[in-house]
Amino acid sequence: DTGVSQDPRHKITKRGQNVTFRCDPISEHNRLYWYRQTLGQGPEFLTYFQNEAQLEKSRLLSDRFSAERPKGSFSTLEIQRTEQGDSAMYLCASSTLSGNTIYFGEGSWLTVV
Amino acid sequence: KQEVTQIPAALSVPEGENLVLNCSFTDSAIYNLQWFRQDPGKGLTSLLLIQSSQREQTSGRLNASLDKSSGRSTLYIAASQPGDSATYLCAPEAQKLVFGQGTRLTINP
Protein backbone atom coordinates (compact mmCIF):
# COMPACT_ATOMS: atom_id res chain seq x y z
CA ASP A 1 0.00 0.00 0.00
CA THR A 2 1.88 3.03 -1.29
CA GLY A 3 -0.87 5.59 -0.77
CA VAL A 4 -2.53 7.84 -3.31
CA SER A 5 0.00 9.12 -5.83
CA GLN A 6 -0.36 12.29 -7.90
CA ASP A 7 1.73 13.52 -10.80
CA PRO A 8 3.05 16.10 -11.45
CA ARG A 9 3.34 17.67 -8.03
CA HIS A 10 3.84 21.12 -9.49
CA LYS A 11 2.96 22.56 -12.88
CA ILE A 12 3.44 26.09 -14.18
CA THR A 13 1.71 26.80 -17.44
CA LYS A 14 0.85 29.75 -19.61
CA ARG A 15 -2.73 30.88 -19.88
CA GLY A 16 -4.49 29.10 -22.70
CA GLN A 17 -2.43 25.92 -22.52
CA ASN A 18 -3.84 22.51 -21.66
CA VAL A 19 -2.66 20.58 -18.61
CA THR A 20 -3.27 17.03 -17.42
CA PHE A 21 -2.90 15.60 -13.94
CA ARG A 22 -2.71 11.93 -13.11
CA CYS A 23 -3.85 10.15 -9.97
CA ASP A 24 -3.01 6.58 -8.97
CA PRO A 25 -5.31 5.51 -6.14
CA ILE A 26 -4.59 2.95 -3.47
CA SER A 27 -4.75 -0.49 -5.01
CA GLU A 28 -8.25 -2.01 -5.06
CA HIS A 29 -9.94 1.23 -4.06
CA ASN A 30 -13.12 1.46 -6.10
CA ARG A 31 -13.89 5.10 -5.45
CA LEU A 32 -11.77 7.97 -6.71
CA TYR A 33 -12.41 11.64 -6.03
CA TRP A 34 -11.04 14.92 -7.37
CA TYR A 35 -11.08 18.11 -5.31
CA ARG A 36 -9.71 21.61 -5.85
CA GLN A 37 -8.29 23.76 -3.10
CA THR A 38 -7.28 27.43 -3.20
CA LEU A 39 -5.23 29.20 -0.56
CA GLY A 40 -7.01 29.56 2.75
CA GLN A 41 -10.05 27.57 1.66
CA GLY A 42 -11.19 24.04 2.27
CA PRO A 43 -11.17 21.55 -0.61
CA GLU A 44 -14.07 21.84 -3.08
CA PHE A 45 -15.54 18.74 -4.68
CA LEU A 46 -15.09 18.38 -8.44
CA THR A 47 -16.06 14.83 -9.37
CA TYR A 48 -15.94 11.20 -8.32
CA PHE A 49 -15.78 7.76 -9.91
CA GLN A 50 -16.88 4.36 -8.81
CA ASN A 51 -14.70 2.01 -10.80
CA GLU A 52 -14.72 3.50 -14.32
CA ALA A 53 -18.11 5.22 -13.98
CA GLN A 54 -18.16 8.96 -13.32
CA LEU A 55 -21.08 9.27 -10.92
CA GLU A 56 -21.18 12.96 -10.06
CA LYS A 57 -19.73 16.19 -11.37
CA SER A 58 -19.78 19.53 -9.60
CA ARG A 59 -20.93 22.68 -11.34
CA LEU A 60 -17.36 23.85 -10.72
CA LEU A 61 -16.32 21.39 -13.41
CA SER A 62 -16.86 23.59 -16.46
CA ASP A 63 -16.68 22.27 -20.00
CA ARG A 64 -12.94 23.04 -19.98
CA PHE A 65 -12.44 20.30 -17.39
CA SER A 66 -12.64 16.60 -18.11
CA ALA A 67 -11.85 13.64 -15.91
CA GLU A 68 -11.49 10.01 -16.89
CA ARG A 69 -10.83 6.70 -15.24
CA PRO A 70 -10.70 4.39 -18.24
CA LYS A 71 -9.98 1.05 -16.60
CA GLY A 72 -11.14 1.79 -13.11
CA SER A 73 -7.59 2.21 -11.88
CA PHE A 74 -5.72 5.49 -12.42
CA SER A 75 -7.52 8.71 -13.30
CA THR A 76 -6.64 11.83 -15.26
CA LEU A 77 -7.95 15.36 -14.89
CA GLU A 78 -7.45 17.58 -17.93
CA ILE A 79 -7.94 21.31 -17.99
CA GLN A 80 -8.16 22.86 -21.43
CA ARG A 81 -7.46 26.53 -22.24
CA THR A 82 -6.27 27.25 -18.73
CA GLU A 83 -7.19 30.53 -17.05
CA GLN A 84 -5.53 32.29 -14.13
CA GLY A 85 -8.51 31.35 -11.97
CA ASP A 86 -7.60 27.71 -12.42
CA SER A 87 -4.51 28.21 -10.26
CA ALA A 88 -5.04 25.93 -7.27
CA MET A 89 -4.04 22.63 -5.75
CA TYR A 90 -5.83 19.66 -7.27
CA LEU A 91 -6.31 16.85 -4.81
CA CYS A 92 -7.10 13.24 -5.56
CA ALA A 93 -8.51 10.82 -3.01
CA SER A 94 -9.64 7.22 -2.94
CA SER A 95 -11.62 4.82 -0.79
CA THR A 96 -12.95 1.29 -0.90
CA LEU A 97 -16.64 2.07 -0.53
CA SER A 98 -18.79 4.98 0.43
CA GLY A 99 -18.69 5.35 4.17
CA ASN A 100 -15.12 4.19 4.63
CA THR A 101 -12.04 6.26 5.28
CA ILE A 102 -11.05 8.43 2.33
CA TYR A 103 -7.32 8.83 1.69
CA PHE A 104 -5.86 11.85 -0.04
CA GLY A 105 -2.76 12.29 -2.15
CA GLU A 106 -0.26 15.10 -1.73
CA GLY A 107 -1.92 17.18 -4.41
CA SER A 108 -0.86 18.73 -7.71
CA TRP A 109 -0.17 22.45 -7.63
CA LEU A 110 -1.15 24.38 -10.75
CA THR A 111 0.03 27.90 -11.42
CA VAL A 112 -1.30 29.63 -14.54
CA VAL A 113 0.74 32.67 -15.59
CA LYS B 1 -26.84 21.47 -0.21
CA GLN B 2 -24.49 20.61 2.64
CA GLU B 3 -22.72 23.54 4.26
CA VAL B 4 -19.98 23.13 6.82
CA THR B 5 -18.78 25.74 9.29
CA GLN B 6 -15.76 25.47 11.52
CA ILE B 7 -15.20 27.66 14.53
CA PRO B 8 -12.80 29.19 15.36
CA ALA B 9 -11.13 29.96 12.04
CA ALA B 10 -7.79 30.27 13.83
CA LEU B 11 -6.56 29.36 17.28
CA SER B 12 -3.24 29.96 19.00
CA VAL B 13 -2.54 28.35 22.38
CA PRO B 14 0.49 27.52 24.54
CA GLU B 15 1.86 24.01 24.55
CA GLY B 16 0.19 21.59 26.94
CA GLU B 17 -3.31 23.00 26.78
CA ASN B 18 -6.36 20.92 26.00
CA LEU B 19 -8.48 22.37 23.22
CA VAL B 20 -11.70 21.87 21.32
CA LEU B 21 -12.38 22.52 17.64
CA ASN B 22 -15.96 22.85 16.52
CA CYS B 23 -17.67 21.80 13.31
CA SER B 24 -21.31 22.29 12.32
CA PHE B 25 -23.13 21.05 9.24
CA THR B 26 -26.56 21.73 7.82
CA ASP B 27 -27.68 18.37 6.41
CA SER B 28 -27.82 15.52 8.92
CA ALA B 29 -28.35 12.84 6.24
CA ILE B 30 -24.73 11.69 6.32
CA TYR B 31 -22.93 8.34 6.33
CA ASN B 32 -20.10 9.50 8.52
CA LEU B 33 -17.86 12.43 9.37
CA GLN B 34 -14.09 12.57 9.00
CA TRP B 35 -11.57 14.86 10.61
CA PHE B 36 -8.43 15.66 8.68
CA ARG B 37 -5.19 17.43 9.31
CA GLN B 38 -3.43 19.48 6.64
CA ASP B 39 0.09 20.83 6.89
CA PRO B 40 0.97 23.87 4.73
CA GLY B 41 1.25 22.97 1.06
CA LYS B 42 0.47 19.31 1.72
CA GLY B 43 -2.41 16.93 1.19
CA LEU B 44 -4.90 15.85 3.84
CA THR B 45 -4.21 13.23 6.47
CA SER B 46 -7.18 11.40 7.92
CA LEU B 47 -7.30 11.58 11.72
CA LEU B 48 -10.60 10.05 12.71
CA LEU B 49 -13.73 8.72 11.05
CA ILE B 50 -17.00 8.58 12.98
CA GLN B 51 -19.78 6.51 11.48
CA SER B 52 -23.25 8.06 11.63
CA SER B 53 -24.33 5.45 14.18
CA GLN B 54 -21.45 6.28 16.51
CA ARG B 55 -21.16 9.06 19.07
CA GLU B 56 -17.40 9.33 19.30
CA GLN B 57 -14.02 7.99 18.25
CA THR B 58 -10.65 8.18 19.94
CA SER B 59 -7.11 7.93 18.64
CA GLY B 60 -4.30 8.72 21.04
CA ARG B 61 -4.68 12.29 22.25
CA LEU B 62 -7.54 12.94 19.85
CA ASN B 63 -11.22 12.43 20.55
CA ALA B 64 -13.98 13.32 18.12
CA SER B 65 -17.68 13.37 18.89
CA LEU B 66 -20.66 13.47 16.58
CA ASP B 67 -24.20 14.63 17.23
CA LYS B 68 -25.82 14.00 13.89
CA SER B 69 -29.27 15.26 14.86
CA SER B 70 -27.95 18.68 15.81
CA GLY B 71 -25.40 18.79 13.01
CA ARG B 72 -22.36 19.15 15.23
CA SER B 73 -18.99 17.53 15.74
CA THR B 74 -16.11 18.42 17.99
CA LEU B 75 -12.46 17.45 17.93
CA TYR B 76 -10.78 17.42 21.31
CA ILE B 77 -6.99 17.54 21.44
CA ALA B 78 -5.41 16.72 24.80
CA ALA B 79 -2.04 17.99 25.99
CA SER B 80 -1.30 19.89 22.78
CA GLN B 81 2.20 19.86 21.31
CA PRO B 82 3.94 22.15 18.79
CA GLY B 83 3.78 19.30 16.27
CA ASP B 84 -0.02 19.57 16.37
CA SER B 85 0.20 22.92 14.57
CA ALA B 86 -1.71 22.54 11.30
CA THR B 87 -5.10 23.22 9.74
CA TYR B 88 -7.84 20.87 10.91
CA LEU B 89 -10.74 20.14 8.60
CA CYS B 90 -13.98 18.33 9.24
CA ALA B 91 -15.97 16.77 6.43
CA PRO B 92 -19.34 15.04 6.63
CA GLU B 93 -19.90 12.46 3.92
CA ALA B 94 -22.96 11.50 1.91
CA GLN B 95 -21.51 10.02 -1.33
CA LYS B 96 -18.75 12.64 -1.13
CA LEU B 97 -16.97 14.71 1.50
CA VAL B 98 -17.97 18.34 1.96
CA PHE B 99 -15.43 20.55 3.69
CA GLY B 100 -15.50 23.68 5.74
CA GLN B 101 -12.70 26.23 5.67
CA GLY B 102 -10.90 24.59 8.56
CA THR B 103 -9.37 25.78 11.81
CA ARG B 104 -5.76 26.91 11.64
CA LEU B 105 -4.15 25.78 14.88
CA THR B 106 -0.86 27.09 16.25
CA ILE B 107 0.68 25.55 19.36
CA ASN B 108 3.32 27.80 20.89
CA PRO B 109 6.29 26.21 22.71
The candidate with the shortest Cα–Cα distance to A57, out of A68, A70, A48, A44, is: A48
- Give the distance from residue A47's alpha carbon to the nearest chain B alpha carbon, in angstroms: 9
**pLDDT tens digits, one per residue of A63-107:** 999 999 998 899 999 999 999 999 999 999 999 976 688 999 999
pLDDT at B95: 82
Residue ranges in chain B modelled with pLDDT below 50? none
The candidate with the shortest Cα–Cα distance to B13, out of B60, B81, B89, is: B81
The whole-angstrom distance between residue A67's C-alpha and the CA centroid of its chain comes to 8
DSSP assignment of B27-44: ----SEEEEEEE-TTS-E
State the average pLDDT over residues A12-24: 98
Euclidean distance between CA atoms B79 and B35, whole angstroms: 18
Contact B95 A98 (CB under 8 A): yes
Percentage of chain A modeled with pLDDT above 90:
86
**pLDDT tens digits, one per residue of A32-68:** 999 999 999 999 999 999 999 999 999 888 899 999 9
In the predicted structure, residue A2 carries a pLDDT above the cut 80: no
**CA dihedral for A112, B96, A50, A93, sign (positive or negative):** positive
pLDDT at A1: 53
Q: Residue B63 in contact with residue B55, Cβ under 8 Å? A: no
Contacts of B2 in chain A (CB under 8 A): none
pLDDT at A113: 97
pLDDT at A28: 87
Decide: residue A4, CB within 10 A, 0-12 exposed, 13-18 middle, 19+ buried: buried
Euclidean distance between CA atoms A32 and A29, whole angstroms: 7
Contact A42 B42 (CB under 8 A): no
pLDDT at A60: 82
In a 13 Å sphere around the CA of B22, the CA atoms on its Cβ side amount to: 8
- Among B33, B44, B104, most A C-beta atoms within 10 A, so best to mutate, is B44
Greater confidence (A1 vs A79) lies with A79
Strand partners, A109: A10, A89
- Give the distance from residue A22's alpha carbon to the nearest chain B alpha carbon, in angstroms: 15
